[in-house]
Amino acid sequence: MKSILFATITCLFGFYGHSQSFSYSFSGELDQAKTTSLEKKILTIEEVKSTQIKYKSESHRGEIIFYVEENLTRSENPAQFSPVTIKEMILSYGLEPIDIHRIK
């Protein structure tokens, strides 16, 4: 019993996550099929846990809201999440990235 408790405590203190939500605004034309495709592509990024795209066709502007969780351990120093990856994805869909900011 003590060993199970010790293992649980070690795991809790040995691993911790750093979570953040971001909003990345963009402009350009985006239909429903591209919206779904872009959401799926963003979710392939390991640190991104969820995403949602809000788009207004009248103004040809939109916003990608995504939640990032970076798991770190004491023994590892994994690569940090970079919003540049999201920017490259936005550009690959013929859209123009405008601004990114962290949501509190």
| Residue-wise pLDDT tens digits, 53-74 | 999 999 999 999 999 987 655 5
For residue 10, give the H/E element and its range: helix 2-14
| Residue-wise pLDDT tens digits, 82-98 | 899 999 999 999 999 99
* Model pTM score: 0.75
Q: CA 96, CA 91: separation in Å to the nearest integer? A: 6
Domains of the chain, first to last: 17-103 (3.30.70.100)
Banded pLDDT at 19 (limits 50, 70, 90): confident
